[in-house]
Amino acid sequence: MSTRSALSLDLRDLALVVGREAVALARSMRESGIEVADTKTSAVDVVTAADRRCEELIRRRILAERPDDAIMGEEGDDHPGTSDVRWVIDPIDGTVNYLYGLPDWAVSIAAEVEGEVVAGVVINGSSGVEYAAALDAGATREGRPIAVRPSPPLSERLVLTGFGYRGDVRAHQGACVAALLPHVRDIRRMGSCALDLCHVADGSGDAYVEEGPQPWDYSAGALVLTEAGGRFGLLAGRLADSVPGAASRGLVAGTPAAGWDSFVEALGSAGFLARDGRE
């Protein structure tokens, strides 16, 4: 085993340990009663005290084991490091679900080495189901290997998606999803980008698309998907045409590898892609 492979496995295992601790904290805080602590992009884009405390726990535990690493988190300032490793963390992906007591929320932790994601863990905070992956070592669900399902024709694919929290962003996303819907089996919106990518990885979804997620939303789930035989990409979408400041290459897509080309073609027809958005 190469040094890089061994490091990837070590980072994955640390992410699992820390992720379990964060889930336990979030659950205990949920049982005690949770209120909105702040908002971000809009009045409905909420942050809870659990988001902040879970991120603090994750940062503290990682730096206790690896003090030289960098950290990018959703809720706190970036922590600079001196090693080649950077952690990308979302303490609660699906905060609105968590706030309402709905089941699809997760702790998501990824680790990069020299900019490449090499380890990823996504733990469903409600069910406790654990997804994990290390680069070139495959992906697992509850410790058992997983693989994407064969891609059916486009008309038989179940597509997972999400929506942002700003009205102008949702207007664009909704129009694109409406245009795609007649051409696929159905659309599901469950509320966690990280878990949606893992659903594609374990065969409980056929594709995922959303314009606007951030690295902490997708980094861990993307590795789980690719290690399960899927393909993940950041494409050039059209959100910037109507929303000033939107990322030019912020359209997140994931499918089984064999279904990639036909799905991207469908995204183009539905208005998701900029003219140069196809890879």
Fold exhibited by the domain 3-145: Fructose-1,6-Bisphosphatase; Chain A, domain 1 (3.30.540)
Q: What is the pLDDT of residue 36?
A: 63
| Mean pLDDT of the region 188-211 | 98
Q: What is the pLDDT of residue 84?
A: 96
Fold exhibited by the domain 154-269: D-Maltodextrin-Binding Protein; domain 2 (3.40.190)
Phi, then psi, of 35 in degrees rounded to 5 = -125, 160
pTM, to two decimals: 0.94
Residue 42, pLDDT > 60, answer no
Q: What is the pLDDT of residues 5-19, one digit of tens each?
A: 899 999 999 999 999
Q: What is the pLDDT of residues 148-199, one digit of tens each?
A: 999 999 999 999 999 988 899 999 999 999 999 999 999 999 999 999 999 9
Q: What is the pLDDT of residues 241-255, one digit of tens each?
A: 888 888 888 999 999
Task: Report the C-alpha gap between 214 and 99 in whole angstroms.
Answer: 20
Q: What is the pLDDT of residue 77?
A: 81
Residue 3, pLDDT > 60, answer yes
Q: Which residue in 47, 54, 65 sits closest to 19, CA to CA?
A: 54
Q: What is the pLDDT of residues 151-161, one digit of tens each?
A: 999 999 999 99
Q: What is the pLDDT of residue 15?
A: 98
Residues 6+ apart with CB under 8 A from 1: none
Residue 85, pLDDT > 70, answer yes
Question: Residue for token digits 């001196």?
Answer: 82
One-letter amino acid identity for 231? Answer: R
Residue 73, pLDDT > 80, answer yes
Copy the structure tokens of residue 181: 């819907």
Q: What is the pLDDT of residue 61?
A: 98
The full DSSP string for 251-270 is EEEEEEGGGHHHHHHHHHHT
Residue 39, pLDDT > 90, answer no
Give percent above pLDDT 90 in the chain: 80
One-letter amino acid identity for 2? Answer: S
Q: What is the pLDDT of residue 44?
A: 46
One-letter amino acid identity for 144? Answer: R
Ordered by start, the domain boundaries in the chain are 3-145, 154-269
Q: What is the pLDDT of residue 242?
A: 86
Task: Report the C-alpha gap between 109 and 111 in whole angstroms.
Answer: 7
Q: Which residue has the higher pLDDT, 53 or 75?
A: 53
Q: What is the pLDDT of residue 1?
A: 73
Q: Which residue has the higher pLDDT, 49 or 84?
A: 84
In contact, 194 and 218? CB cutoff 8 Å: yes
Q: What is the mean pLDDT of the chain?
A: 92
In contact, 66 and 85? CB cutoff 8 Å: yes
